[in-house]
Structure 1
Amino acid sequence: MSILAIDAGTTGVTAVIVTDEGTIAVKGYQEFTQNFPRPGWVEHEPEEIWQATLAATREALASYDASQLRAVGITNQRETIALWDRETLASPRRAIVWQDRRTADICLGLREAGHEERVAEVTGLRLDPYFSATKLTWLRENEPHTWALVESGRYALGTVDSYLIARMSRGTWHVTDVSNASRTLLFDLAAGDWSDEMCELFGVPRDALPELVPSWGEIATTDPATFCDLSLPIAGIAGDQQSALFGQTCLDPGDSKCTYGTGSFILTNTGTTVRHSQAGLLSTAAWRSPDGVPTYAEEGSIFVTGAAVQWLRDGLQIIGSARETQALASSVPDSGDVVFVPALTGLGAPHWDPQARGLIIGLTRGTTRAHLVRATLEAITFEVRDVLATMQLGDTLRVDGGAAANDLLCQIQADQLGVPVERPKIVETTALGAAFLAGLGVGVWGSPDDLRRTWALDRRFEPSTDRAAADAAYARWTDAVARSKGWAQ
């Protein structure tokens, strides 16, 4: 038996087939377009996400017997919000992506009106353009004709998981799980349900929101005429970072992981306790079992890490692919005192400054593209250190995501943190987590504890003993971050 896992990320969709031994048998991938209609705005065309999902799935199935599939699991970029017609499933506008900064003024207005403390108390989040609800407020204020059809019930709204399930099931189900719901600013963490108070604050009709379902179990069913001739239960749902936490088998309170993706996200399992941070971290739902037991997490969200490498490739065009970065950065002993603050969409945890902008400082006539590439890798590790300085990090850090394959990045990370960094053999733990959830939902695995045996170490990176050099580099970083703040005002 095997599971099809769909990982609908920020820049593309990956489809993997996971065996009952917890290994990836085959994989398909398809990128989709990133739209930047104005400075600070980021949008995706929902239909392109759907077509990328179909293409990635077909690629995976081309070399695999579909009769062996038992269920589908879905994981996704979280705070991105999409609208679609309940009858035709067509989208009236592009989705507004989690990276989008257009609602900074809405957040400022709500903060000045004194709402942030109550928002944090109910949702575990903060008033930042990152989260979904302010995007919906913006739509209500700026696109009244579209919003009228949301209020009338013609248009559904939801995160990317909800949209894909609607497409896969030909509109039969409109659902989401708590891990995605808890990223909207509309979910009451303690109550485990949508908050009428937050819906009223942000002007969102509650009946437009998806039904809340467990993170695993037989949640919906795919329509073969719509989804690659497959009739399978959709049996697992989780937002990408919670899915990676599950895929890393961080199942006990205190277990932590860092995923290097478009952004980087550090999560620590806090069990059945909601831990409210005073240091710029978020409280979030990790998953909820079919019998209703919640698991929570504390999270540090970094907006731009892998996206900075993508910018080197597509924006500056100084590299041809992300794979080049290790060799190029290793060709110089250090960054030559160049520091890159990749605040390309503002700063997330622990700074939370939507007005910050990217900064490269320390350039000289001797600076080369190798120095800039190395500074980019260093920036990723500095951002992670910023977050972990506010968390209770254990004896090791487990890492995953595409950039975790970069040995130099992992070594610099260990040097910066002063603790070993462990990389599993399967770094695509986001998709793996969705497969694990779906497999639990249909009985491929009997309990979460059965999943621990599937985790295998690929390499352990030991930190350098030269703490003075690591701390000096980090001090230059903190100085540069201070200079990047407030630039867009």
Structure 2
Amino acid sequence: MENYILGIDQSTQGTKALLFDDKGNLISRTDLPHRQIIDERGWVEHDPEEILKNTIHVVKDLVKKNGISKEQIRGIGISNQRETAMVWDRESGRPIYNAVVWQCARGEQICRRLEEKGYAEKIRQKTGLRLSPYFSAAKIAWILQNVEGAGEKNEAGKLCIGTMDSWLVYKLTKEHAFKTDYSNASRTQLFNITDLCWDNELCQWFGVNRQCLPKVCGSDELFGMTDLDGYLDHPIPIHGMLGDSHGALFGQGCTEPGMIKATYGTGSSIMMNIGEKPVLSDEGIVTSLAYKIGGKVNYVLEGNINYTGAVISWLKNDLKLIDSAGETEELAKAANLEDETYLVPAFSGLGAPYWDSDARAVISGMSRTTGKNEMVKAALESIAYQISDIVEIMKRTAGLEIAEIRVDGGPTRNHFLMQFQSDILNIPVRVPDAEELSGIGAAYAAGIAMGIYDQKSLFENVNRTEYKARMNETERERKINGWRQAVEKALTK
């Protein structure tokens, strides 16, 4: 009988189950969306119980869809939305509040108070992260301060405080294993990335009882055994756990220093493996743990961009210039090559490396002949320029040469964008045939740890489409200088 590994990708919009054969090929997937609970303030929540039910449901659908025996499933790897935070009662196992999603900025006042006390730089030195409500700690602090009885239970050590991976492992394992991995822990802003432990001072500043936090494990360790709420006849191991961007880094095979990946989604995460020692940047990018796999910890530099794929949505939904994302490639190719229009998509400020929340979008360089094609071209090019900004800073910070960039996500199907990305970076851009890189990374980590997969052959057998730079240096410099001048017009700081 053929053996299979399950990948579960618990993401912001929904939960996917992925089926991999014993050679690491992705055979099939099923998915279910969950509710986005958004109030008039723009605060975003998820129902953790709904996500748990969906997780079991998508696995059942996957097995049924493919007609395989449940006995053939050997293990599970889980990837998850990272900074989304939640708290549940240790005795009842029930959430005391909904999960507060990474997009939610309700912890802004908590961060502001810590900044006023002079803690921001100390937090960055310990965690590699800018003090921000984006990360889990401020969200957790908000729950503990605003949910009735939460503060008292926190002090008494009667709560479980964690991220979505911890919740799923806790509920899926009958022994109620309360664990997380290094990648997820490093994004909470409570974990010291140099000492590799929950930090007493950080916990104190955010008002979190360290006893309520999960055990931190290697990303390929055994997290516990599960029968998926009685669905399986025999328990199988959960043997891999990675935050989604870290899962994509490993799934792309970026296992050596200087290897870099970019995920093109609504926004983008650019991650560079920098090896076994952390390096902090003063230029607007953060440092995190990549993962701990095979007993070895790797670090990453990361930059996050607010608007990449969302720029294409803006063209479609707001400007009504296109009916579908697929149209943008041909329109951009048909644009006037001499047109010098730049779009800086600072619709809700600019993220890395500028971190200017008050910046506003700018269109500059238009001429009388600038039309629809040129606007679409400028929008696509803005995605590549933003990623290039971060890659250049990573090169300087790490002091490492970058031989290529590995990319994933829906916009990578756009040949115009991928070629322009290669031209602006002046390095090859490589797109794997497989999608679902986050879930692939977690499933591969599990399968390798269980001895089902061989890591070297897994990554050597990936088929990739390669784009090589064709632009001359003079034109590249001229275009990048034009972009920088356009960004200056958008910035307020």
The residue number in structure 1 matching 2:461 is 454
Matched, 1:389 2:408: no
With over 3 angstroms needed to count, the CA separation of the structure-2 counterparts of 1:213 and 1:117, relative to structure 1, is same
Matched, 1:410 2:418: yes
In 2, distance between residues paired with 1:72 and 1:482?
47
Q: Secondary structure at the match of 2:104?
A: coil
The residue number in structure 1 matching 2:450 is 442
Matched, 1:289 2:297: no
With over 3 angstroms needed to count, the CA separation of the structure-2 counterparts of 1:467 and 1:3, relative to structure 1, is same
With over 3 angstroms needed to count, the CA separation of the structure-2 counterparts of 1:486 and 1:43, relative to structure 1, is farther
Which amino acid is the alignment partner of residue 17 of structure 1? L
In 1, distance between residues paired with 2:58 and 2:490?
38
Is the contact made by 1:303 and 1:347 (CA closer than 8 Å) also made in structure 2?
yes
Is the contact made by 1:21 and 1:454 (CA closer than 8 Å) also made in structure 2?
no
Q: Give runs of aligned pairs for residues 228-377 of structure 1, distance below 5 A.
A: 231-289=235-293, 291=295, 293-310=296-313, 321-333=324-336, 339-356=342-359, 358=361, 371-377=374-380
Is the contact made by 2:403 and 2:428 (CA closer than 8 Å) also made in structure 1?
yes
The residue number in structure 2 matching 1:165 is 169
Deviation at 1:31, TM superposition (A): 2.8
Which amino acid is the alignment partner of residue 144 of structure 2? R
In 2, distance between residues paired with 1:462 and 1:103?
43
Matched, 1:222 2:230: no
The residue number in structure 1 matching 2:206 is 202
Deviation at 1:423, TM superposition (A): 1.2
Deviation at 1:36, TM superposition (A): 3.6
With over 3 angstroms needed to count, the CA separation of the structure-2 counterparts of 1:225 and 1:48, relative to structure 1, is closer
In 1, distance between residues paired with 2:240 and 2:407?
22
Aligned length: 484
Which amino acid is the alignment partner of residue 424 of structure 2? Q
The residue number in structure 2 matching 1:133 is 137
With over 3 angstroms needed to count, the CA separation of the structure-2 counterparts of 1:87 and 1:28, relative to structure 1, is farther
With over 3 angstroms needed to count, the CA separation of the structure-2 counterparts of 1:290 and 1:13, relative to structure 1, is same
Is the contact made by 1:13 and 1:30 (CA closer than 8 Å) also made in structure 2?
yes
With over 3 angstroms needed to count, the CA separation of the structure-2 counterparts of 1:316 and 1:142, relative to structure 1, is farther
Q: Secondary structure at the match of 2:221?
A: strand
Give deviations 1:215-266, integer Å, cap 9, x for gaps.
1132112233366777321100011121111111111122221122232122
Is the contact made by 2:350 and 2:357 (CA closer than 8 Å) also made in structure 1?
yes
In 2, distance between residues paired with 1:52 and 1:225?
12
Q: Which moved more, 1:280-289 or 1:169-178?
A: 169-178
Q: Give runs of aligned pairs for residues 460-479 of structure 1, distance below 5 A.
A: 460-479=466-485
Q: Secondary structure at the match of 1:391?
A: helix
Matched, 1:42 2:44: yes
In 1, distance between residues paired with 2:147 and 2:140?
10
Q: Which runs of 5+ in 2 are unaligned?
A: 396-400
Deviation at 1:386, TM superposition (A): 1.1
In 1, distance between residues paired with 2:219 and 2:313?
32
Which amino acid is the alignment partner of residue 453 of structure 2? W
Q: Secondary structure at the match of 1:387?
A: helix
Q: Which moved more, 1:134-143 or 1:428-437?
A: 134-143
Q: Secondary structure at the match of 1:436?
A: helix
Identity level (%): 37
Which amino acid is the alignment partner of residue 63 of structure 1? N
The residue number in structure 2 matching 1:400 is 408
Q: Which moved more, 1:371-380 or 1:428-437?
A: 371-380
Q: Which moved more, 1:126-135 or 1:295-304?
A: 295-304
Q: Which runs of 5+ in 1 are unaligned?
A: none
In 2, distance between residues paired with 1:270 and 1:310?
33
Is the contact made by 2:321 and 2:372 (CA closer than 8 Å) also made in structure 1?
yes
Q: Secondary structure at the match of 2:266?
A: coil
Q: Which moved more, 1:227-236 or 1:11-20?
A: 227-236
Deviation at 1:419, TM superposition (A): 1.6
In 2, distance between residues paired with 1:27 and 1:112?
48
In 2, distance between residues paired with 1:267 and 1:97?
21
With over 3 angstroms needed to count, the CA separation of the structure-2 counterparts of 1:309 and 1:169, relative to structure 1, is farther
The residue number in structure 2 matching 1:5 is 7
Deviation at 1:178, TM superposition (A): 0.5
Q: Give runs of aligned pairs for residues 175-186 of structure 1, distance below 5 A.
A: 175-186=179-190
Deviation at 1:90, TM superposition (A): 4.1
The residue number in structure 1 matching 2:429 is 421
With over 3 angstroms needed to count, the CA separation of the structure-2 counterparts of 1:53 and 1:371, relative to structure 1, is farther
Deviation at 1:190, TM superposition (A): 1.6
With over 3 angstroms needed to count, the CA separation of the structure-2 counterparts of 1:310 and 1:236, relative to structure 1, is farther
Q: For the pair shown, which has the larger CA radius of gyration, 1 or 2?
A: 2
Give deviations 1:262-285, integer Å, cap 9, x for gaps.
321222222211122222222211
In 1, distance between residues paired with 2:483 and 2:183?
32
Deviation at 1:432, TM superposition (A): 1.2
TM-score, normalization: structure 1? 0.88
In 2, distance between residues paired with 1:335 and 1:313?
24
Q: Which moved more, 1:140-149 or 1:68-77?
A: 140-149
Q: Secondary structure at the match of 2:393?
A: coil
With over 3 angstroms needed to count, the CA separation of the structure-2 counterparts of 1:151 and 1:462, relative to structure 1, is same
In 2, distance between residues paired with 1:282 and 1:185?
12
Which amino acid is the alignment partner of residue 356 of structure 2? D
Q: Secondary structure at the match of 1:385?
A: helix
Q: Secondary structure at the match of 1:215?
A: coil
Matched, 1:67 2:71: yes
Give deviations 1:317-354, integer Å, cap 9, x for gaps.
76555445434544545796554434455433211234
Give deviations 1:194-235, integer Å, cap 9, x for gaps.
111110111111122111111113211223336677732110
With over 3 angstroms needed to count, the CA separation of the structure-2 counterparts of 1:385 and 1:169, relative to structure 1, is same
The residue number in structure 2 matching 1:20 is 22
In 1, distance between residues paired with 2:159 and 2:434?
39
Deviation at 1:287, TM superposition (A): 1.3
Q: Which moved more, 1:17-26 or 1:354-363?
A: 354-363
Q: Secondary structure at the match of 1:10?
A: coil
The residue number in structure 2 matching 1:99 is 103
In 2, distance between residues paired with 1:41 and 1:358?
23
| Cα root mean square deviation, aligned | 3.0
In 2, distance between residues paired with 1:248 and 1:465?
26
Matched, 1:431 2:431: no
Deviation at 1:116, TM superposition (A): 2.2
